[in-house]
Amino acid sequence: MNIGQEILENLKEEITESEYKRYIKQLTYDVKKSTPELAIYYAPNALVVNWIKNKYTEKIAHLFEVKTGSKVTVKITLKNLLDKRKTKKTVEVKQGSSLLNPSHSFSNFMVGGSNQFAYAGVKSASEHPGTTYNPIFIYGGVGLGKTHLMQAAGNVLQNEGKVVIYTTVEQFLNDFIRHVRNKTMERFQEKYRKCDVLLIDDIQFLSGKEGIQEEFFHTFEALKGAGKQIIMTADKHPKKIGGLEARLQSRFEWGLVTDIQPPELETKIAIIEKKCEINKVKLSKEIVNYIATVIDSNVREIEGILSKLHAYSQLMHIEIDLEFTKNVLKDQMNEKRENLTMDTITEIVAKDLNIKPSEIRSKGRSKNIVYARRISIYICRELTQNTMPQLAQYFGMKDHTAISHTIKKINDLIKDDEDFKLKIDELTNKITTAS
């Protein structure tokens, strides 16, 4: 028996029989590619990979350390890349399409204090297009329902036989370039200036792009002049976008400018219940409430979590209970963290403590620089997969022992000083929700 297999046998004694059969038994150890520092295991599919990563890697690593006396990184990965390729393909199809999503309807949109003005404005435009509020400009953070809401109006009007165009600024720009290249600008103008309703997403991407601003200005004038409804979204208020021609910016404010705020708990709960209904996922009230409190603002994450819950429970024949939900959510957070870099962490810490990121990585010995550097090192160790030598190199420290001293110091401080602990928690929160 190879060492990898032996470790799994040891693990068997620490977990239940059914856990072992369900997950651990599915793992195979790669004798060839594994090294004394790196243990590679394969799992049959992505769901099992995630599940095991989440629940067992630490245990496995610990058993290795006990057995061999050295620290081993445990890597759980897919047996073949087939599943990966499949998921990639579906994503591509989604992104390329500019059609209206039929489930983005008014009845599927939950209204609360955070979005009621935007809702009322868009609803009214869907009933009296081109008259009451024109244009409508909705702004707010990622995943708060801007696209959903604008498409809800689009769906209503399309069903009434109106010609509705939904596009992003990016697609509009690509379309423009293509028509310029093919010398078919009349067709471009015909298409965008003759529709009944224009829904255009992510207006902030017009910033600094003069050519397309000019074209969009004329499109806007033609539509507005003909009493056609225009709805736009952006991540900020028109005044804050910057790099916009004055005439465009002022026109964006002609009609209704309204924001969408992150949903309150009640609205979040209603949204989760709605999504469960649409996706035919059954969750107890307790679990719905739990998800609503854990997800801070981005509603888009809710769908990811529900489909994961659903998929895991189907695959593993498990009832979705609170324990299970907590695990899946943890998994979701970890996935987010995988993309986290040391640059991002130092940037956020530096900004928070009012110094420059370059100072954190310098040899500076002044008190606040050392303080910021220690905190950054600690958080990088917590949130990224970098080794101590990698951290030492990045932060310009002598070697890995300097790093482990720093981490020990911070750990001591956290134990002794409640305020300091709060500071670290706050920064960690900022960093993990930044993306």
List of residues contacting Mg ion (CB under 5 A): 147
Amino acid 240 reads K
Which residue number, 48 or 260, has a Cβ lying nearer to Mg ion? 260
By DSSP bridging, strand 197-201 and strand 164-168 are: parallel
CB neighbours of 330 closer than 8 A, spacing ≥ 6?
A: 54
Whole-angstrom distance, CA of residue 289 vs CA of residue 270: 10
Backbone angles phi, psi at 301, to 5 degrees: -65, -30
Residue 98 contact partner, candidates Mg ion, ligand ADP, none, CB within 5 to 8 A by sort of partner: none
Q: Which helix (H) or strand (E) holds 139?
A: strand 136-139
How many other CB atoms sit within 10 Å of the CB of residue 383? 20
Region for residue 106 given its phi and psi (left: phi exceeds 0; alpha: psi -120 to 50; beta: otherwise): alpha
Beta bridge mates, 164:
197
Q: Choose, by CB under 6 A, the member of 145, 154, 238, 357 that binds ligand ADP.
A: 145
Report yes or no: 395 and 364 within 8 Å, Cβ to Cβ.
no
- The least distance separating Mg ion from the CB of residue 51, rounded to whole angstroms, comes to 31
Which residue number, 29 or 109, has a Cβ lying nearer to ligand ADP? 109
| Burial of residue 328, with CB atoms counted within 10 A of its CB: 0-12 exposed, 13-18 middle, 19 or more buried | buried
- The least distance separating Mg ion from the CB of residue 144, rounded to whole angstroms, comes to 9
Q: Choose, by CB under 6 A, the member of 162, 209, 274, 356 that binds ligand ADP.
A: 274
Which residue number, 142 or 311, has a Cβ lying nearer to ligand ADP? 142
CB neighbours of 32 closer than 8 A, spacing ≥ 6?
A: none
Which residue number, 40 or 231, has a Cβ lying nearer to ligand ADP? 231
Give one DSSP letter per residue of 100-118, joined into a string: PPTT--STTSPP-TTTHHH
Stretch near ligand ADP under the rule CB under 6 A, chosen from 51-59, 122-130, 146-154, 390-398: 146-154
Report yes or no: 4 and 34 within 8 Å, Cβ to Cβ.
yes
Long-range (24+ apart) CB contacts under 8 A made by 251-255 are 251/135, 251/217, 251/220, 251/224, 252/135, 252/137, 252/203, 253/137, 254/134, 254/135, 254/224, 255/133, 255/134, 255/135, 255/136, 255/137
- The least distance separating Mg ion from the CB of residue 264, rounded to whole angstroms, comes to 20
Which residue number, 143 or 364, has a Cβ lying nearer to ligand ADP? 143
Q: Does 271 bind ligand ADP (CB under 6 A)?
A: yes
Instruction: Kindly identify the residues of this chain, within the stretch 187-246, that bind ligand ADP according to CB under 6 A.
Output: none
Instruction: Kindly identify the residues of this chain, within the stretch 72-131, that bind ligand ADP according to CB under 6 A.
Output: 108-110, 115
Give the C-alpha distances (Å, rounded to integers) separating 304 from 239, 295, 338.
Answer: 33, 11, 16
| Contact letters for ligand ADP, residues 282-311 (x by CB under 6 A) | -----------------xx--x--------
Which residue number, 101 or 189, has a Cβ lying nearer to ligand ADP? 101
- Kindly state the tokens that stand for 402: 């300097």
Which residue number, 110 or 380, has a Cβ lying nearer to ligand ADP? 110
Q: Choose, by CB under 6 A, the member of 39, 100, 136, 146 that binds ligand ADP.
A: 146
- The least distance separating ligand ADP from the CB of residue 197, rounded to whole angstroms, comes to 17
- The least distance separating ligand ADP from the CB of residue 270, rounded to whole angstroms, comes to 7
How many other CB atoms sit within 10 Å of the CB of residue 384? 19
- The least distance separating ligand ADP from the CB of residue 90, rounded to whole angstroms, comes to 16
Which residue number, 147 or 213, has a Cβ lying nearer to Mg ion? 147
Stretch near ligand ADP under the rule CB under 6 A, chosen from 140-148, 179-187, 248-256, 357-365: 140-148
- Kindly state the tokens that stand for 318: 């498990």
CB neighbours of 74 closer than 8 A, spacing ≥ 6?
A: 39, 41, 57, 60, 61, 64
Q: Choose, by CB under 6 A, the member of 66, 142, 316, 322 that binds ligand ADP.
A: 142
What is the size of the binding site for ligand ADP (CB under 6 A)? 16
Residue 109 contact partner, candidates Mg ion, ligand ADP, none, CB within 5 to 8 A by sort of partner: ligand ADP
Report yes or no: 244 and 206 within 8 Å, Cβ to Cβ.
yes
- The least distance separating Mg ion from the CB of residue 115, rounded to whole angstroms, comes to 13
- The least distance separating Mg ion from the CB of residue 87, rounded to whole angstroms, comes to 21
Which residue number, 22 or 274, has a Cβ lying nearer to ligand ADP? 274
Which residue number, 30 or 303, has a Cβ lying nearer to ligand ADP? 303
- Which single residue brings its beta carbon nearest to Mg ion? 147
Which residue number, 110 or 355, has a Cβ lying nearer to ligand ADP? 110
- Which single residue brings its beta carbon nearest to ligand ADP? 145
- The least distance separating ligand ADP from the CB of residue 244, rounded to whole angstroms, comes to 20
Cα 58 to the chain's mean position, in Å? Answer: 25
**Where on the chain is the footprint of ligand ADP (CB under 6 A)?**
108-110, 115, 142-148, 271, 274, 299-300, 303
